[in-house]
Structure formats: structure tokens, C-alpha cells
Amino acid sequence: MVTYNTKDLIRNCLQSLSAIDYSPVEVTVVDNGSTDVSAAMISKEFPQFRLVESPTNLGYVGGYMLAHSRASGDFVLFLNSDIAVEPAPS
């Protein structure tokens, strides 16, 4: 995911991901040079997710390319920070 000054949106998204066991999925969040406290909030509240802090705003595609370069899995899903996921119905 890429975030830029969207502290409340990214918190909601990461909370929804935290509530579901997606092991062994790796979650990477790129803070795209935010000037709010998004990066500090992510680091403090969601240490289980990888935070990559860009010193500048790389834009939408640049942020995702940075996240992709840090990914180690075989598949990559680019998820927007305004999404909240829900468990599949049983």
C-alpha cells in the first residue's frame, strides 16, 4: 500500500488486515513523504507490517514501484489505503 497524509484511512485499512490471519502474507506500506503523523502511527500501531518511508512523494506509481522492489513473494497485490477487508463468509 501507498499512503500520503491519509493517517485515518491507512489505520482503518491496517486494522482490517490485522483482524484476519493471512499467514504467510507480507504487507508493505510505503509512506510517500507524508507531512502528517502517518508513518509514526504505522510504526507504533502496526509493527507486524513493513513500513518503507520515502523522503519525498514519489507519486502513486512511484510509491507502488518502491513497495514492489521490497516485496519478496511470488505474487503482489496493490491495495489502496481506503480499502477495508472483511473475512470471507463461512
* Mean pLDDT value across residues 33-42: 96
- Percent of the chain exceeding pLDDT 70 equals 100
HEC assignment per residue over 26-57: CCEEEEECCCCCHHHHHHHHCCCCEEEEECCC
Residue 35: the pLDDT is 95
Residue 40: the pLDDT is 97
Per-residue cell: 53? 518511508
User: Exposure pattern of 35-55 as b/e (b: 16+ CB <10 Å)?
Assistant: eeebbebbeeebeebbbbbbe
